[in-house]
Structure formats: C-alpha cells, structure tokens
Amino acid sequence: MAQAFIGLGSNLGDGRGNLLAAWQRLQAEAGRAVALSPPFLTEPVGMESEQLFTNAVGLLETRLAPQALLDKMMDIEAGLGRDRQKGRDRTVDLDLLYYDEVVIRTASLTLPHPEIANRSFVLAPLAAVAPLHVHPVLGLTSLAMLQRLGRQTGVRRISWEKT
C-alpha cells in the first residue's frame, strides 16, 4: 500500500463539515485513513474571496496508483459540489501533496505538489500531522519548510468540534 498525503480545503458553507465529508468519502472509496490533522482557518491565496478557508491534511493508505487516486479525488470534489472554474469559492478542494516518495511530472499530475513549500495553509496542517516527513526533492521536513516561511499570519488552528 502507498501512503498519500492529501490537502483538504473549503471556503463555502460548513468548512469543517465539508472536509469531514470529503475525508469520509476518501476512506470509503480510495483507502484507509492513517491520520487527519486538526483544521486551520486560513486566508484565501491566489483568489479574491471574502470567505476564509478551512484547511487540513490527511494521510491515506491506498492501493490506487497516483493518477487513479487523483481522478477519484476529483470525482469526490464534483460529488460534493466543487465548481472547478478558476478563482471560484469551493465547497471542497482536494490536492494530492505526496504519494510515497514518487516524483512525477505529467500534464495532469505533478508530485510532490509543486507549491507545498510556499503555502502555509498546507504546511501548518502537514506539520501538525507529519512534522518530520521529508520532501523527496527539497530534502526538508514539513516543519522545516513551515519555519522557513516565517511568521504564519492568516493561519489559525481550530478544533473539529463546533463551538
């Protein structure tokens, strides 16, 4: 079985609920859950929106090949109401961050995800669930990449429980 780290994000509706629904579908359709980070509230990056994102990272064991896993993730996004138009708010956004130590670049898939080291909304939950995981290209841990970004403005850890 391969280990896949998956980034989860939502900025429409019940963010925590959307992420948990996506995570449950991933477990049912793509593999076995190993770990899920706490959720984080984050400011939108690369898009204009008034809505904060809820982000998390999950570790999934899967028998699916990388492209098949990505295809399944896109099916789950669509099933949960994702509008794939660029710049649109999202009920759910799933990103394949790592797949074992695979390094690949195709027209539809780049592994590891090319923006991991630049995104605190990915690194904060990734460091929470796997602080010592090493990026296979950069040779840096999740925690080291997060520390390199410096002060984490616009990223706040929350609970899965609604208060």
Per-residue 3-state assignment (H helix, E strand, C coil) for 33-100: EEEECCCEEECCCCCCCCCCEEEEEEEEEECCCHHHHHHHHHHHHHHCCCCCCCCCCCCCEEEEEEEC
Q: H-helix or E-strand containing 104?
A: strand 104-105
Which member of 25, 93, 100, 156 is catalytic?
93
119 as an active site residue: the answer is no
Residue 90 appears among annotated catalytic residues:
yes
Q: Is 156 a catalytic residue?
A: no
Q: From the candidates 32, 71, 75, 82, give the one annotated as an active-site residue.
A: 82
Confirm whether 14 is a catalytic residue: no
16, 90, 100, 105: which one is catalytic?
Answer: 90
Catalytic-labelled residue, pool 16, 25, 95, 119:
95
- Residues involved in catalysis: 82, 90, 93, 95
